[in-house]
Structure 1
């Protein structure tokens, strides 16, 4: 009944709608649509599958990646691998998070636990110009979608008055396919993939060969070759190598 009253008010007084009321109306409609629900399930499973392999590797005590030690991220993983049971603790946390995400009743707790983990990973790979920035960005966005999906349960710990939110519960609504929403999803995915390609003027790649092979298409092949040598042969920090590359390129 409350939802019906809300929707009647929103239709009758469209110019008086508060921003939160607009968002509440959209949220109520989305929660009753099976396609949004399917997408939430897809995000849960996708996030869980992203955490399971890395969690198992850490629990087994193996090094997480095959990145060479002189790679910027390789430095980090070498140090992390040598932290003993802290390394195992991180892996256990990732596996527990994955399991919680796979179980519908505990999915909210899993989404809350996953957010600081994937946010930390996302910032890390961007800081080190890792090639995996695209997938981690998409995982972070999927996590944010899940937090929005469970807003009806999270709202009680947020600094909003319930009256301002204008909703208490939702009822099944139209199951019409939300073309605009999924069009936006596709556009965001494309923007992440394409944008990451132009984000940095140079990256270390995942190996010395990958780094040097990319120098052919670089605006300054000689400076690029020196950058790769700086990373993989001399083992200098990424910031130092980037500064040397930009200096050689006249930037």
Structure 2
């Protein structure tokens, strides 16, 4: 209970802090800008990415491109969500609608070992921050104890300009962690092109790596098959 009380106090103080409010606006605008280009491309019916059809994620986007009005529907939804995020009064609705989409994209990028996993992960974290920021408005649908409304309103009225060093230190740490973890998370990635993939091949596993790149980008085989072939080649060398 004491822990919850401390979190309640921290949340209430954050709602009245100009730095937190500024960071919230930054997250809203950044997430909206992340959806506008991709949403517009889908709305006008153009292919979303320049990735080869042989690339695991490129193959997925190519199939998505041929789903007709469903493809357009996704684009319109992204543009609408971006608009909701930009408008302060509807930002909470935008954040709620944004979450399932960005979560799906994040899992998809990790499943296909896409190079953009870092950016998408940071977008997911920013979206989670917005949801926490609006906790006082969405708490009624959550199955646990709620922060007292009176405490929040009292703290919001007592605005402060104190810079939250610990919070922004954690933000920097989270960004660094996402970047570093993604560097070591996968032993090999297909890259966005054959050249990008082969440029990452070096050392004793160079031949196996080049065969993996050829398997993906030239032969167009599934990622699982190419990974299986790659790991088998590495074991033979050992």
TM-score under structure 1 length normalisation: 0.89
Cα deviation for residue 246 of structure 1 reads 0.8
| Residue equivalent to 1:134 | 118
Is residue 112 from structure 1 mapped to residue 96 from structure 2 by the alignment? yes
Deviation, 1:161, is: 3.9
Residues 10-59 of structure 1 deviation map (CA, whole Å, 9 limit, x = unaligned): xxxxxxx5322221111001001000000000000000000000000000
CA apart distance, 1:232: 1.0
How many residue pairs are counted as aligned between the two chains?
A: 232
Once residues 214 and 36 of structure 1 are traced to their aligned partners in structure 2, the CA distance between those partners, rounded to angstroms, is: 40
Gaps of 5+ in 2: none
Does the Cα contact within 8 Å between 1:71 and 1:206 map onto a contact in 2?
yes
Give the equivalent residue in structure 1 for 2:222.
Answer: 237
TM-superposed CA distance for 1:188, in Å, is 0.7
Aligned pairs for 1:1-251 within 5 A? 17-162=1-146, 165-168=147-150, 169-170=152-153, 171=156, 172-216=158-202, 218-250=203-235
Larger gyration radius, structure 1 or structure 2: 1
Q: CA deviation at 1:136?
A: 0.2
Q: Is the 8 A contact 1:33 1:173 kept in 2?
A: yes
Native 8 Å contact 1:58 1:88 kept in 2 = yes
Distance 1:64 1:198 in 2: 28
**Gapped runs of 5+ residues in structure 1?**
1-16
- Residues of 2 paired with 1:95 and 1:136: CA distance? 17
